[in-house]
Amino acid sequence: MPGRARLRYREADVQHTVPETEVGGTAKRAFDLAVAIPATILLAPVMAGLAAWVRLDSSGPALFRQRRAGAFGRPFTCVKFRSMVDGAETKGAGLAVTAGDARITRAGRVLRRLSLDELPQLINVIRGEMSIVGPRPTVPSQVAHYDAGQRRRLLARPGLTGLAQVRGRASIPWSERIALDVQYVDTWSMGLDLRIIGETVRVVLRGEGQYRGEDGGFDLAGRADG
How, if at all, do strands 63-69 and 75-81 pair?
A: antiparallel
Of the pLDDT bands very low, low, confident and very high (cuts 50, 70, 90), residue 68 is very high
Residue 132: per-residue pLDDT: 98
Residue 215: per-residue pLDDT: 52
Inter-residue contact 184 to 192 (CB < 8 Å): yes
**Cα gap 169→194, rounded to integer Å:** 18
Is the pLDDT assigned to residue 224 strictly greater than 50? no
pLDDT tens per residue across span 113-132: 999 999 999 999 999 999 99
Identify each DSSP E strand in the chain by its residue range: 4-9, 14-19, 63-69, 75-81, 131-133, 159-161
What is the residue extent of each domain of the chain?
A: 22-206
Is the pLDDT assigned to residue 17 strictly greater than 80? no
Distant-in-sequence, close-in-space partners of 203: CB < 8 Å, separation ≥ 6 = 165, 166, 169, 209
pLDDT tens per residue across span 75-114: 999 999 999 998 887 676 666 777 678 899 999 999 999 9
State the sign of the Cα–Cα–Cα–Cα dihedral 134, 68, 214, 223.
Answer: positive
Q: Which of 11-20, 97-106, 176-185, 208-217 has the highest mean pLDDT?
A: 176-185
